[in-house]
Amino acid sequence: MPADAVVSGARPLRLGVLGAADIARRRTLPAVAAEPDVELVAVASRDPHRARRCTEVFGGEPMAGYAALLGRADIDAVYLPLPAALHARWIEAALDAGKHVLAEKPLTIRAADAHRLVASAAARGLVLAENYMFALHPQHACVAELIAAGMIGEVRGMRAAFTIPPLPAGDIRYRPEVGGGALADVGGYPLRASALLLGEPLEVIGATLRVDAARGVDLSGAALLSTPAGVISEVTFGMEHAYRAGYEVWGTGGTIRLERAYATPPDHVPVLHLRTRDDVRTRRLEPDDQFRRAVRAFAAAVRDGADSGLQGDDILRQADLVDRVRAVARRAEITGP
């Protein structure tokens, strides 16, 4: 069968996985298994036992080492859930091997690397996507439609937050050398939501990061963003809070609030709260699997060039925004618990 047969839809997208991370086992590989247009061929890990545990459940061949998987001719694309600090190296290696890439967020630690890799993928005619899967969930399109219909008048501001409770002491997100920290792990979500609903460009007016001095990693932070017209978004993120994962948009005539906007399970029933001058409504939406949507959109981008909403300029705007938050942030160092 010709190598480009996947593009015409003659066979499924043949996928390899670099790394047996928890997010892959819990969410992405079940989504891959549910998609008829994607076939899992192999899972590579530095620990062969972890790779084998994945393939025993989801199929494919377990492999030791990432380079060996990239050398296989029977793999069209790779999914990359490695620690963020390893992304740039292995995305580049995958592109050099002629593979399309779906990488977990953040695509890279530095915006400069994101720009280089996006350009490299484009030059090779390959798809490079960043798995901010939440952006594909229909609940956000519903919010955007209500705003466009004038249900809350002219938008004047937004608050967006993603905060989670403290993690176990040895969690990888407390390790700066592998790309840990609250901004990289959870901060990107409310930043991306702000761009999704308020549009581009967004200027970073100010920011703060609360940094654990002993571990050298940011535990929480906030940013104030503005559109050119002065519409403000107040963003909060952190790994030392009660759980919160939503946003509220308010305008001249009302507000829209979504309480579970980012880590949305497939069976979750989203609830929109719409408040206007004359009415208060609660709207229940259909459940949806945002990981399956991301896998499907990635396969369609490879197959027929459809815009997945997770690639190209979407990657670059996100990387630049996170870089600007980090650059302007006032750092407050803390010691002890």
How far from 326 is each of 140, 198, 239, CA to CA, in Å? 26, 21, 17
Furthest C-alpha separation in the chain: 63
Residue 41 and residue 2: Cα distance in Å, rounded? 18
Residue 243 and residue 162: Cα distance in Å, rounded? 8
Q: Quick one: DSSP state of residue 184? A: I
Q: For residue 54, what are its two tokens?
A: 């994945």
210 forms beta bridges with: 220, 332
**What phi-psi label fits residue 242: left (phi over 0), alpha (psi between -120 and 50 degrees) or beta?**
beta
Active site residue 99: no
| Residue pair 217/180 in contact by the 8 Å Cβ criterion | yes
Q: Which residue has the tokens 């809350």?
A: 152
Which position among 87, 105, 159, 326 bears the catalytic label? 105
The set of catalytic residues is 105
